[in-house]
């Protein structure tokens, strides 16, 4: 059973990173575009990446908790507590940081159907520094969790 739990945890982690990469790459490419139709398309890819991250996060957590149980560890172990805390921070930062790109996607979809020209509001949403900071924070937390999983500091 432990092998299956570990395999599920590792595969879920890879899927989580793939979703993060898809969302980040789509967002960066959308920021480099000016046509609302292209921006909307790329931000829809971000949405797929974000949904992948959400599903993979639940899966990583489930398999991770299963591993904790199977290995006789405790949630109070420092590295496990840190990993869970960082996961919570990453989830909140990712959800909050994704709100403006979501608004940008909806605005780009409307603009591509109407005038086809980029608006100042769309550019402001795409270039929002607080969204970028929150999304980078979420990614940093996930990388820190990976470090904790690999090295399990005491």
Among residues 20, 42, 21, 22, the alpha carbon closest in space to that of 31 is found at 42
Domain boundaries defined on the chain: 2-151
Task: Please tell me whether the overall predicted TM-score, pTM, comes out greater than 0.85 for this model.
Answer: yes
Burial class from Cβ neighbours inside 10 Å (0-12, 13-18, 19+) for residue 43 reads buried
pLDDT of residue 98: 94
Evaluate whether 12 touches 55 at the Cβ level (below 8 Å).
no
Query: Could you read off the pLDDT tens digit of each residue along the chain, which spans 154 residues?
Result: 779 999 999 999 999 999 999 999 999 999 999 899 999 999 999 999 999 999 999 999 999 999 999 999 999 899 999 999 999 999 999 999 999 999 999 999 988 877 666 689 999 999 999 999 999 999 999 999 999 998 887 6
């Amino acid at each position: 059973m432990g092998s299956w739990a570990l395999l599920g945890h590792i595969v879920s982690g890879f899927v989580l990173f793939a979703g993060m990469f898809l969302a980040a790459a789509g967002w960066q490419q959308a920021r480099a575009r000016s046509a609302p139709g292209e921006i909307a398309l790329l931000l829809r890819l971000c949405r797929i990446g974000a949904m992948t991250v959400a599903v993979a996060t639940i899966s990583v957590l489930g398999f991770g908790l299963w591993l904790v149980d199977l290995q006789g560890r405790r949630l109070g172990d420092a590295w496990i507590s840190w990993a869970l805390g960082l996961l919570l921070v990453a989830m909140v930062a990712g959800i909050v940081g994704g709100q403006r790109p979501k608004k940008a996607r909806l605005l780009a979809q409307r603009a591509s159907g109407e005038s086809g020209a980029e608006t100042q509001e769309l550019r402001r949403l795409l270039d929002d520094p607080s969204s970028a900071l929150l999304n980078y924070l979420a990614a940093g937390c996930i990388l820190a969790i990976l470090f904790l999983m690999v090295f399990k500091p005491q």
